[in-house]
Amino acid sequence: MLAKEQLRFKAKVAAEYADLIYNGLWFTGMRRDLAAYVESTQRYVTGTIRVKLFKGNCQIVGRKSPYSLYDYSLATYDKGDAFDQSASPGFIHIWGLPARTQAKVQPEKPE
């Protein structure tokens, strides 16, 4: 299971990999390096997928993996969950700094 940044980068690697193959560059060092990255990303990919097949359609209805990055106690905001909600204001303040700075320096309607 991959983190957000890994998924984003893997998509770029996949596009580059496809271009190399399309251009006949299978035996290059670059293709081997990209393949090594993809192989590395797959070391935790395992589990069970349940699908629903109906009239030519396939829909994922369940998935389970011992390496899943999803944690229900972090995804909900009930009492007793793992997420410490007191951390939210600081995170929001720091995460919003670039947007606030841009809005201050570059107003919608320049003066």
What is the three-state SS of 59-105? EEEEEECCCCCCCHHHHCCCCCCCCCHHHHHHHHHHHHHHHHHHHHH
pLDDT reported for residue 111? 66
pLDDT at 3: 87
Asked whether the predicted pLDDT for residue 84 surpasses 80, the reply is no
The arithmetic mean of pLDDT across residues 73-77, rounded, is 75
Selected from 2.40.50.140, 1.20.1250.20, 3.90.1260.10, 3.40.50.300, the CATH number assigned to the domain covering 4-105 reads 3.90.1260.10
Q: Which amino acid is at 21?
A: I
Break the chain into its structural domains and give their ranges.
4-105
What one-character DSSP code corresponds to residue 86?
G
